[in-house]
Amino acid sequence: MFINGQWCDASTSTTFEVTDPATGEVIGTMPDGGAPDAERAIAAAAAAGPSWAATTARERADVLYRAWQLMAERAEDLAQLMTREQGKPLRASRAEVAYAGDFLRFYAEEATRVAGEWLGSSRADQRFLILRQPVGVVAMVTPWNYPISMLTRKMGPALAAGCTLVLKPAEATPLCAKAVFEVFVDAGVPDGVINMVTAADPAPIGEVFTTHPDVRKITFTGSTAVGRRLAGAAAANLKRVSVELGGHAPFIVFPDADPVRAAKGAAALKFLNAGQACISPNRLYVHAGSADAFTETMADRVAKVRAGNGFTDGVGVGPLVNEAAVAKVAAQVDDAVAKGAQALVGGRRLDEGEFAAGHFYAPTLLAGVTPEMVIHSEETFGPVAPVITYDDVDQVLALANATNYGLAAYVYTNDISTALRTVEGLHFGIIGVNDVNPTSASVPFGGMKDSGIGREGAHEGIAEYLETKSVGIAL
């Protein structure tokens, strides 16, 4: 762990193993921290807070620039570690490291743009000064599916704003978190400003985060169920919260769209990170008139997606995070097939030969998916593309919105009127129109309803870490 500028063991001196999801091999150990370690880390962050907040925006920007440069220099090592620990294909790991660096560079620039206001008053002898100041100590909980970029997406704006922080990384990918912290340490972040507590059981850490009086904000990325618990506990103690949670993204192909182009886009996005992405398309709504062309193209594409170890050339889908994830995907597919869906490609676990020791599921295309199937209403988080055929264009928007989730949605159409009306009518925070990559460090990322509270990235991302202070001045 990393507390007050020092690498250290857990207070109990216990550790937990980190394994490669493709091979089952133990690749490292990390300290198995608990509540006392979290309290110690929070104390360090609180003590370092005043001096870090007092640094100039330029000084904080310089640290983030150095971190960005170091991440670029270490990009290949970081990508190799990510593939080994998280499992995604090496090409995808390299892309994630570059994306992670984008947040550091963006918030290095954004640090210098935090500004207040000078306001007039209805009184001639009064003026107002509006200040934007750091919220204080931030507790961060990050996921395993994007184990480097989800750290920089939170740490970048927090540090730019002048906050100090304590991170609890996902128990499946703590080695990536350690490597990111090494980047920040070498970039010159002062002692106590960044702290990390690792643990096999996150519950005791979460309890401290949500109740400790020195923690002023909690930011979490992960499942909706856990996000609800953290947000509820934090709210009871009046802590600021931002949570980015699950999704159940619709992918709407309108009759006027090119079904082949839409299918190519869907195939490229659906199997990214083995479907283990909160913005992954989970419901592919295709008009009946385009269904055959769309499905044929998808089937051809999916059949060519190769599963395997992320270090193997040509692999497009790596392992799932653990056996529970495989079991969930298998259960959803089996339920769909039992209720009449057709597995046009895949539809099975991969557990023989090179797959025997890992957590693999075959890239799968399901046709004939209907509302009574579990996969129609629940997030899959795996390499399964469910195609749902519709007839009534006027009803597809309601079908897409018929979920408690509201993170990402995708629309394929060649008609600008259809595109704009659909974008305005969709209850989702991120929407791609003929675009399967509607994300960037410079644009807001976040959802509605059960998909979260708050935004990351862009100007909104740093605002999450700032308090507004109003000062009235009598002349």
**128: part of which helix (H) or strand (E)?**
strand 126-134
DSSP track, 397-456: HHHHH-SSEESEEEEE-S-HHHHHHHHHH---SEEEES-S----TTS-B--EETTEES-B
pLDDT digit string, tens, across residues 38-71: 999 999 999 999 999 999 999 999 999 999 999 9
> Stretch 446-470: mean pLDDT, rounded?
97
- Which position has the token pair 């923690």? 215
| Rounded alpha-carbon distances, angstroms, from residue 59 to 54, 72, 229, 325 | 10, 20, 37, 43
| Rounded alpha-carbon distances, angstroms, from residue 380 to 55, 179, 280, 426 | 45, 30, 9, 21
Amino acid at the residue 284: L
pLDDT digit string, tens, across residues 164-217: 999 999 999 999 999 999 999 999 999 999 999 999 999 999 999 999 999 999
**What pLDDT, on the 0 to 100 scale, is given for residue 42?**
98
Amino acid at the residue 288: A
**What pLDDT, on the 0 to 100 scale, is given for residue 80?**
98
> Stretch 402-421: mean pLDDT, rounded?
97
**What pLDDT, on the 0 to 100 scale, is given for residue 180?**
98
Amino acid at the residue 462: I
Average pLDDT, the chain: 97
CATH class of 249-440: alpha beta
**350: part of which helix (H) or strand (E)?**
strand 349-350
| Rounded alpha-carbon distances, angstroms, from residue 313 to 70, 223, 316, 366 | 27, 31, 9, 27
Q: What is the C-alpha separation between 97 and 83, in angstroms, rounded?
A: 11
Task: Give the confidence band of 285 by pLDDT, cuts at 50, 70, 90.
Answer: very high
From 13, 17, 54, 49, select the one nearest 34 (Cα to Cα). Answer: 13
- Four-point Cα dihedral 32, 36, 39, 43, nearest 10: -100
Three-state DSSP string of 61-121: HHHHHHHHHHHHHCHHHHHHHHHHHHCCCHHHHHHHHHHHHHHHHHHHHHHCCCCCEEECC
pLDDT digit string, tens, across residues 3-35: 999 999 999 999 999 999 999 999 999 999 999
Question: For residue 67, which phi and psi values (nearest 5 degrees)?
Answer: -65, -40
**What pLDDT, on the 0 to 100 scale, is given for residue 117?**
96
The structure tokens listed for 272 are 């990214």
**What pLDDT, on the 0 to 100 scale, is given for residue 308?**
97
pLDDT digit string, tens, across residues 211-263: 999 999 999 999 999 999 999 999 999 999 999 999 999 999 999 999 999 99
**What pLDDT, on the 0 to 100 scale, is given for residue 33?**
98
Task: Give the confidence band of 147 by pLDDT, cuts at 50, 70, 90.
Answer: very high
Give catalytic residues, as residue numbers.
244, 278
The structure tokens listed for 426 are 């969709």
Query: ∠87-90-92 over CA atoms, to 5°?
Result: 90
Residues found in the chain: 475
From 10, 389, 380, 474, select the one nearest 204 (Cα to Cα). Answer: 10
Q: Where are the domains of the chain?
A: 2-245+451-474, 249-440
pLDDT digit string, tens, across residues 428-440: 999 999 999 999 9
Amino acid at the residue 220: F
**What pLDDT, on the 0 to 100 scale, is given for residue 258?**
97
Task: Give the confidence band of 102 by pLDDT, cuts at 50, 70, 90.
Answer: very high
Task: Give the confidence band of 160 by pLDDT, cuts at 50, 70, 90.
Answer: very high
CATH superfamily of 2-245+451-474: Aldehyde Dehydrogenase; Chain A, domain 1 (3.40.605.10)
> Helix, strand or coil for residue 214?
coil
Question: For residue 31, which phi and psi values (nearest 5 degrees)?
Answer: -60, 135
Q: What does the DSSP 8-state code read for residue 392?
A: -
